[in-house]
């Protein structure tokens, strides 16, 4: 798959085949991609918590908010939840400014997941204190992002923005529509 196809296929998936289990090693291999990615000042302040068992993923799920624009949807139902999570942590003993490192790591991980036939969702709306306590994470770590990973079961349709409305939405068949700005709108010409 070329890079453009990989990026087009790498969507924000929020519904998965929960019966599809993901081996810990697969998630570890995705973290290895993040390890090789760019990091500000080469500080490498990120750490990663991998969850691949139903017992641990069940502890993570209640601490997450899934889709701000889908107000009538509380997140995936049982059977449609992710099979794994990668929690990106900032190690405050290295720095207290993580810049954009976690965004770069998240994109590397999700591109790798897409290449492996998986999909994911970057989640920043997190009950951080609750999740730290639930997982017993030391105070030296700050939760930056949670990546939900699984076998996607939803169809995502990219479309042009109409009337400057950027809100994604679902149709009656549960297709997930995502408006995108045109290239002409994005590029500033001189």
Position of tokens 């973290």?
Answer: 31
Band the pLDDT of 162: cuts 50, 70, 90.
confident
Write down all domains in the chain, each with its CATH number in brackets: 3-154 (3.40.109.10), 156-190 (2.20.180.10)
**pTM of the predicted protein model:** 0.95
Q: In this predicted model, what pLDDT tens digit does every residue of 102-140 receive, in sequence order?
A: 999 999 999 999 999 999 999 999 999 999 999 999 999
Alpha-helix runs per DSSP H in the chain: 3-9, 24-35, 54-60, 101-115, 128-135, 183-186
- Between the alpha carbon of residue 120 and those of residues 22, 30, 41, 142, 189, the distances in Å are 12, 12, 28, 21, 34
């Amino acid at each position: 798959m070329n890079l453009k196809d990989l990026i087009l296929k790498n969507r924000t998936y929020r519904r998965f085949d929960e019966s599809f289990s993901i081996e810990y090693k697969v998630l570890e291999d995705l973290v290895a991609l993040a390890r090789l990615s760019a990091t500000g000042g080469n500080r490498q302040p990120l750490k990663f918590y991998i969850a691949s068992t139903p017992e641990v993923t069940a502890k993570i799920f209640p601490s997450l908010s899934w889709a701000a624009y889908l107000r009538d949807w509380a997140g995936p139902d049982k059977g449609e939840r992710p099979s794994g999570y990668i929690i990106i942590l900032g190690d405050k003993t290295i720095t207290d400014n993580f810049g954009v490192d976690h965004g770069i790591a998240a994109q590397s991980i999700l591109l790798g997941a897409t290449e492996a036939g998986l999909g994911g969702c970057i989640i920043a709306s997190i009950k951080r204190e609750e999740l730290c306590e639930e997982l017993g994470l030391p105070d030296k770590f700050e939760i930056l992002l949670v990546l939900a990973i699984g076998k996607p079961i939803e169809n995502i349709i990219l479309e042009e923005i109409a009337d400057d409305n950027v809100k994604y939405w679902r149709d009656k068949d549960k297709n997930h529509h995502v408006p995108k700005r045109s290239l002409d709108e994005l590029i500033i010409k001189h």
